[in-house]
Amino acid sequence: MSRPTTTEVRIARSPKTVADQVVLGLVTGGLLGPGLVIQQREAQCVRFSSLGTLPGMPNRGEIELIEEDSGGTRLECRFWCHGMSYRRLVQAVCLGALIATITALAFGWLIHLSIPLGVGVGVAWDLVGGYRDRSSLRRRVEAFARNTTYLKTM
């Protein structure tokens, strides 16, 4: 099982207001995009999952609301992105195989040189794509948290 993508955001509002806005954001698609379903809502935690493997979407996640001494709220968001990881892995394998084939056939490289190059390119593609996907989710959560200042409370 893969480890979750985690991010924290601090908001200067009460946990009840933030919880309502998080649920509203998940339901309307404003937080992470369309296709997420709320599985469970507790006083301090909202758990959700996706309806399928959608591009750029987590498979499941939880957002925990922690009240701070200053009167604000800290959001701890954890996302499990198996679908995004599998898609990226398939892309990396295909790209690595393509690079190995092109270097062997078009440039006349020996197999023992072209295959490691293809593997290296595939691994680099997977690592950079994973970083890009995780940072995209973090940016979406941080933008939503900052923009909730302008949402009306429910």
* 100-122 pLDDT per residue, tens: 999 999 999 999 999 999 999 99
Closest CA to 46 of 55, 54, 37: 37
Between 82-105 and 111-147, two packed helices, what is the crossing angle to 10 degrees? 150
Q: What rounded mean pLDDT belongs to the chain? A: 85
pLDDT at 133 over 80: yes
Q: What is the C-alpha to C-alpha distance for residues 113 and 101, in angstroms, rounded to an integer?
A: 11
Domains of the chain, start order: 5-85+123-150 (3.30.530.20)
Cβ(103)–Cβ(95) below 8 Å: no
- H-run or E-run covering 104: helix 82-105
pLDDT digits (tens, 9 = 90+) for 22-47: 888 887 887 887 878 888 888 888 89
